[in-house]
Structure 1
Amino acid sequence: MAGREGGTGLDYAALFAAVPAACVVLDRELTIVAANDAYVEVTGRPAADLTGRSFFEAFPPDPSDPTPGGAEAQRESLEAVLVSGQANVLLLQHYAIPRAGRAGEFEPRWWNVANQPLIGADGQVDLIIHRVEDVSDYVTSEHAAAVRGPDGQRMAAPHAELMSRVQRLAHTHSRLQKSTARSHDVALALQQAMLATPDLARHPEIAVRYRPAMRGMNACGDWYDVVDLPGGRFGLTVGDVVGHGVGAASVMGMLRSALSAAIRVADGPSGALEALGLYARSLDGATATTTFACQVFPVSRLLTYSSAGHPPPVLMHADGTYHLLDSATDPPLGVRLEHVPRPQATAEYQPGDLLVLYTDGLIERRGEDIDAGLARLVAVTGEFRHLPPEDVADGLLHTLANPEGQQDDISLMVTRF
């Protein structure tokens, strides 16, 4: 067995002991960084001839292969894993490999392939375990079992025909995964564009984070925003649209823009949310959106706020005491049958205090009361309260994101007063 440890500090010896099947480890550039003894044996290629080389340089497609497409399917599968972060399986792939020590000669093989990602600390795919099972002997025996029909024509044996169909289905599945991965990229690009916050550049005391969900399209309907207002004031908003994917991200963009405009002209955050609620009634997909809006008055050290069904922000004081901004909470947008003025409350802050705005993906866990997640947020914010806002934001995400897999996206805003 040969290989080196990657950025994850992976112990390849332990890995290959636990996974005795033939496998190699690929990095993000699809370079082979390790190959176990079983893989060396099944491919007939020395480990020294594999490690450090691109996978498709070590295993180029056979130019004379009468059934091309195996290399393309392999590449699509690996690229889908890199983008989606999810495992990909290929069944009965025909892929000829170079014969060891015989330049220009290829040996036809049939493979079952499993590509399993290893996620790094940054949440991206760090390595791929490429595991193979050589089923060439089985496929050859099935094709040899072909029979002749009543008209004397050669007919494929049922198993061989089934395997051919499975191969085509697996290839189609790989292409669909790649298409889904591209859609995922479009959705995230759309969301990141709509989260652009020009006024944030003038506020080094504010740190923002967005972390997409780990499943599905990954783009959802969470937002944050910073709005400069006359007289040295500024507004902060955060919100969460129901649903996932491009549709939710589109609704989020429209609501966020509408609130950004409303908070500039309305009489306080409650007036801005009243206007937004009326707008939400006319927008498909906007009903039941939760949002929180506040205005900060640096001279008087006051903030006014209003909430439309959103989890309460945490105002953490420098001495470790805290205040939940939950005194002006009303139902989510668009759920009232009649228009009712929204409440508004005021809170005082002192220099050194910390304000944490967030969406429910940060604190919610399946099967757990939301108060438990809110208690965790308060405790962790208290531990980090003396750190710079950027470090607080990173610490909250690292500590509070669901270790069993993040089911919802997270928007987070940390402000140091």
Structure 2
Amino acid sequence: MFNYEYIPKGGGSNDVYFPLPFLQETTDPFENNLYPFVFLSTDGNILIFTNNRSILLNPTTNKIVRELPVLDGGSRNHPASGMAALLPINLSDPNPKAILAEIIICGGANPRAGKLVEKGIFVTALQDCGRIDITDPKSTWQKEMMPTPRTMGDLLILPTGDILIVNGAKEGIAGWNFAQDPNLTPLLYRPDNPTTQRFTELKATTIPRMYGSTSMVLPDGKILVAGSNTNYYYNFTGVKYPTELRVEKFYPPYFDPLLISDRPTITSNYKGKMVKYKGYIVVEFKLKKAEVDQSDLKVTMYSPPFTTHGFSMGQRLDIGHKEVGKYGIGIFSGGGCGAAIGRDCSSGPMEMESAYVALICLQQRVPFIVIRAVSDLAGIGGADSNEADTFLTLASKNSVTAVLEFVKQLSASK
């Protein structure tokens, strides 16, 4: 079906769908356009990427705004199975219209790899990545090379804003026994580093994670890795890659003992608390070092994805402005961080979507606070908007003392 539809807020059914010839145009004899990559841009448009082409769609008019340049080199969607993510959104610019939205797409396969594997020929996967600013009409794809080729990998955004690439294979495509030479080495990608210094190879696993594998960021910042089944059925013996039921935890570099030893101590009693959509959260902490540069402190807000066939849908990370009152998330002077959930820019695409999100505070790129916030999508309901507005007003003063006093008074009145 070469069409799309919108899932109604709060559940329910929707019988309306919209034809999209672009989806038919991007299919080929081996498909290579299944499970398109879809992202909401900061300008309100929706990016749809499939095979090697992409468009920006206006969800209000359902008209194509423009088509982006072709990402050459091969096919990127299932079964070629590259990886994609919306890079962290940096809220440091005081002008919302100037905030960029960049995507990165890595790996994939030769368009004919599916036909060749049927003959027992396993073609080397793609090794390149393409990165583009989708808010700039003149932007073109910027190519980078991973240390090794990869198909069927997972691309996760870490709390620090770095990208983790795990799982996959170096040859073949997704499907039953259609790949070999598992890629056992995770990669760390630092988006803000100079182009030639962005990729770092991390400690390899010994467990092949190919077709049917997955991974996720846990609330404590560790990575859960599971799955892999290249066989028609569960098969544990007599095959090259047995069905895998073991589960692993991967520790990113910020768990280095030398780094976590100086993590601040949380003094707020937030354990077990959930924050409603349009509500707010304030966390107070005590710094272990007598002097800490305010620039070493950062707050991010992470929307964890649901993943299938190598695409982490709904994944997004916002990096807070230095002033909480500007976009709703940030660091307070005096030892605190906070957020008004879902109020990044009062309304519009810059607003964090209605979903489960995590507030993460960091010192020198080490996360030390993770709090879940709940949306009305989960059936919890929204908070009093007047309370959140007052929070933002006080937050603009950038003082944790003033905000905590407001929270104390509000609690006493209820």
For the criterion TM > 0.5, the same-fold answer is: no
Question: TM-score, normalised to structure 2's length?
Answer: 0.23
Larger helix proportion of the pair = 1
Question: TM-score, normalised to structure 1's length?
Answer: 0.23
Higher radius of gyration, 1 or 2 = 1
Larger strand proportion of the pair = 2
